[in-house]
Structure 1
């Protein structure tokens, strides 16, 4: 039986892999109509990670939030020249290139350096801005780290997968390089002395220094070719017509020195954010995060239970095929991380069917929850005494009625605490959907941190909100558990 299950799992994995690879390959081999598609649609879809001021960040003005920054102005210029509307999608920085590879967007912008490694996966426009490299240090260490030479053997932080990470590895002897996904996390690590310095683009370093007196900036000392290490716009491989059209806009941007104008505009917006950095001022951000977190959890709970019941019943089926499929699904889902599942549903299946980020997150969390709920329900069914089954049979009940009216009600009563724990876990685990740009509580938390330059307080607020949600749910579940015991 185990060999059959393993064989089924292998077939499923091979099928899914071939489906995804085949879809990507077919799209890659298609004729270049990238510019034509954008113009026919009338929209230029762009992905960015709005947590990297002054390149891209969110501004909170009059309780309303919008994405601004130098890169956003560059993208608006490009869209205007193409005669189309700019549509902005937000997601984590490390998902930007995947988004354009899988057709979720036409281009990605975000202070992206066109390294040789990245050029193997995507196409790049010409460099539109070269800001240079710097290091952020704590103000109290200004005499300790006067230049990059003093950083030898130090602990250096850099955003994972960026040029700064690679440069620190190669150019600073004896340094221990620590990578994180978000610059906000790295700044917090610096301020709490987890790292000695943070490798970062010069404009971003200047933005932090202007808005946080506890930080200082020192030059990187790197001697780099600006034409290779500046910021460029990324496109899907083979998008030559769109790249060429965008490059025409970049020529104008450089000729007219528009990036200086865009940076000045970004600076004004940053002042708006730092006028009031109280968490109450950003309550709408947290409220939206809570709303999406609860919505995802409720949907995942409903479909998770539905999927769990079906899988559990399949496990008790006399049909080997049904049992094999249920076992294969449960083992496969439980054996892979939820983050990978979320990314696969959004990017992998999204190659064939374009599923919105929120729906993708709900699907992935529901499918994941279903596998765990199935095992909980299976345990609950096994916990029902055999005498109950025999009594139902003696009354002439069919197997379907027996399961519906006798076994499942008792099973759910037995497993209610375990199901409650699964529901509570869903609220916390659903935070993983932030990696694909779903504006849940974790996503909003990171936006507030980037906008206010406050590292700890937004985290504390999110912790309190998560606690309140789980505490209230626990009380509700305990109430119904008490009623069940009383009824029994």
Structure 2
């Protein structure tokens, strides 16, 4: 099951028995389905933008994240029957209750909605003159609402109810959309051609409807949410941030090592007399530098994943390493060019081969020249590695969004993550400066 656990009460994370677990109505429904099918349920967390792609590329058998089976989505994936229809609502600030009493009052206003969702498309097509602002996370949208960047937030009714129960500054009202229930409820998404599996899942959904289990699961989710909001201090969620720091450092450290190795090889290839090696290095560097890291992460995880099923963490490390290698290559190339040509001539006159000259004479001097730039790349890598959260790697940014979803606190988790990043980069900068000073005094 692929899901984005930042959408209470459908799916969210909670500390249970000292461990972080994904819970919610969708999770309980999927457990029931897995039991009926006689299979083990494995939950893969990732950003909402990626859950359908995970199904299309075989990373998951089922995507379940409060997904509406719209016609456009049906072109890419198969859907089960609707298992729950909570309806559509709008979140507003409580101070605006008198101002926005119904959907008609939102005409020509700024409406927030999660990018790529039914709520986004509805606001665009059915609210006259509305300016729709899309974001990837509902937690970001709620923060935008509370800071008056948007006037209202389009969201499913159960989630809206969850927010107003846990945040006294928010209010809600139901939409007046006239919608086809077969398109607006929540359904499970499966890979195209999964007819047999869809039929088996639909049998479980029929039982869930007949026994009204969805309401029971929704009530259970509410109990978990009360556990989360009982103590919303950042110290209470310290294990989340510590886990995020652990994964951020692992990704950064490994990516730095492989990035430097790859960058050195690419830089030497650019200096090679072989036109083929030179062309390969130039093409690689230009291509990587010309495409966003986020796209590279998605390609390694989903694109390469079609051939080799790589875990999310490994995919993130590979993508960040490959990206870093291209930038390090240019830094090293600049350092080599900064070494006086006379050094090469002097080493040749001493009988050194070109390889030995590069190893013992040129590169050591180049390293002194490029150390500050190389240090900047290391620092940038720690911050840029946060992009791996989109494929479900539990780095610091991923944990930040989970804490925001669980506690309904928009700003404080961001502030904590910002301080943590500063501490990490400050310490690293001091270490790099120490070694830079030693290099300057070395003979």
What is the alpha-carbon distance in structure 1 between the residues aligned to residue 107 and residue 170 of structure 2?
20
If the length of structure 1 is used for normalisation, what is the TM-score? Answer: 0.90
Which digits, 9 at most, give the CA deviation of each residue in 1:240-265, with x for residues without a partner?
11111101100000010000100000
Query: 198, 202, 207: which one pairs with 1:247?
Result: 202
What is the alpha-carbon distance in structure 1 between the residues aligned to residue 120 and residue 440 of structure 2?
57
Aligned to 1:190: 145
Query: 423, 431, 454: which one pairs with 2:386?
Result: 431
Q: Is the 8 A contact 1:441 1:462 kept in 2?
A: yes
The 5-angstrom pairing of residues 6-25 of structure 1 reads: none
What is the alpha-carbon distance in structure 2 between the residues aligned to residue 197 and residue 459 of structure 1?
22
Q: Is the 8 A contact 1:125 1:233 kept in 2?
A: yes
What is the alpha-carbon distance in structure 2 between the residues aligned to residue 153 and residue 62 of structure 1?
48
Aligned to 1:113: 68
What is the alpha-carbon distance in structure 1 between the residues aligned to residue 11 and residue 122 of structure 2?
23
What is the alpha-carbon distance in structure 2 between the residues aligned to residue 117 and residue 450 of structure 1?
28
Residue 133 of structure 2 is aligned to residue 173 of structure 1 = no
Please give the secondary structure, in 2, of the residue aligned with 1:137: strand
Which digits, 9 at most, give the CA deviation of each residue in 1:97-134, with x for residues without a partner?
00111110000000000000000000000000000000
The 5-angstrom pairing of residues 200-349 of structure 1 reads: 200-349=155-304
Cα drift, residue 62 of structure 1: 4.9
Aligned to 2:77: 122
Query: 54, 59, 71: which one pairs with 2:14?
Result: 59
If the length of structure 2 is used for normalisation, what is the TM-score? Answer: 0.99
Query: 291, 300, 310: which one pairs with 1:355?
Result: 310
What is the alpha-carbon distance in structure 2 between the residues aligned to residue 355 and residue 223 of structure 1?
43
Residue 411 of structure 2 is aligned to residue 456 of structure 1 = yes
What is the alpha-carbon distance in structure 1 between the residues aligned to residue 197 and residue 16 of structure 2?
34
Q: Is the 8 A contact 2:13 2:402 kept in 1?
A: yes
Cα drift, residue 422 of structure 1: 0.1
Q: Is the 8 A contact 2:71 2:183 kept in 1?
A: no
**Which range moved further: 465-474 or 227-236?**
227-236
Query: 354, 374, 378: which one pairs with 1:419?
Result: 374
What is the alpha-carbon distance in structure 2 between the residues aligned to residue 207 and residue 143 of structure 1?
21
What is the alpha-carbon distance in structure 1 between the residues aligned to residue 170 and residue 434 of structure 2?
50
Residue 110 of structure 2 is aligned to residue 155 of structure 1 = yes
What is the alpha-carbon distance in structure 2 between the residues aligned to residue 459 and residue 343 of structure 1?
24
Q: Is the 8 A contact 1:133 1:200 kept in 2?
A: yes
Which digits, 9 at most, give the CA deviation of each residue in 1:299-333, with x for residues without a partner?
11000000000000000000000000000000000
Aligned to 2:439: 484
Query: 355, 379, 385: which one pairs with 1:400?
Result: 355
Aligned to 1:49: 4
Q: Is the 8 A contact 1:63 1:282 kept in 2?
A: no
Where has structure 1 moved over 6 Å in runs of 4 or more? none
Aligned to 1:9: none
Which digits, 9 at most, give the CA deviation of each residue in 1:24-67, with x for residues without a partner?
xxxxxxxxxxxxxxxxxxxxxx1100000000000124542100
What is the alpha-carbon distance in structure 2 between the residues aligned to residue 64 and residue 192 of structure 1?
33
Q: Is the 8 A contact 2:328 2:377 kept in 1?
A: yes
Aligned to 1:164: 119
Q: Is the 8 A contact 2:8 2:405 kept in 1?
A: yes
Please give the secondary structure, in 2, of the residue aligned with 1:232: coil
Q: Is the 8 A contact 1:50 1:67 kept in 2?
A: yes
Cα drift, residue 345 of structure 1: 0.3
Q: Is the 8 A contact 2:69 2:182 kept in 1?
A: no
Aligned to 1:466: 421
Which digits, 9 at most, give the CA deviation of each residue in 1:51-95, with x for residues without a partner?
000000001245421000000001000000001110000000010
What is the alpha-carbon distance in structure 2 between the residues aligned to residue 458 and residue 64 of structure 1?
19
Please give the secondary structure, in 1, of the residue aligned with 2:236: helix
Please give the secondary structure, in 2, of the residue aligned with 1:435: helix
Please give the secondary structure, in 1, of the residue aligned with 2:65: strand
Please give the secondary structure, in 1, of the residue aligned with 2:113: strand
Aligned to 2:334: 379
What is the alpha-carbon distance in structure 1 between the residues aligned to residue 183 and residue 287 of structure 2?
43
Structure 2 unaligned spans of 5+: none
What is the alpha-carbon distance in structure 2 between the residues aligned to residue 336 and residue 170 of structure 1?
32
What is the alpha-carbon distance in structure 2 between the residues aligned to residue 50 and residue 213 of structure 1?
23
Q: Is the 8 A contact 1:205 1:217 kept in 2?
A: yes
What is the alpha-carbon distance in structure 1 between the residues aligned to residue 183 and residue 350 of structure 2?
80
Cα drift, residue 480 of structure 1: 0.3
Q: Is the 8 A contact 1:165 1:199 kept in 2?
A: yes
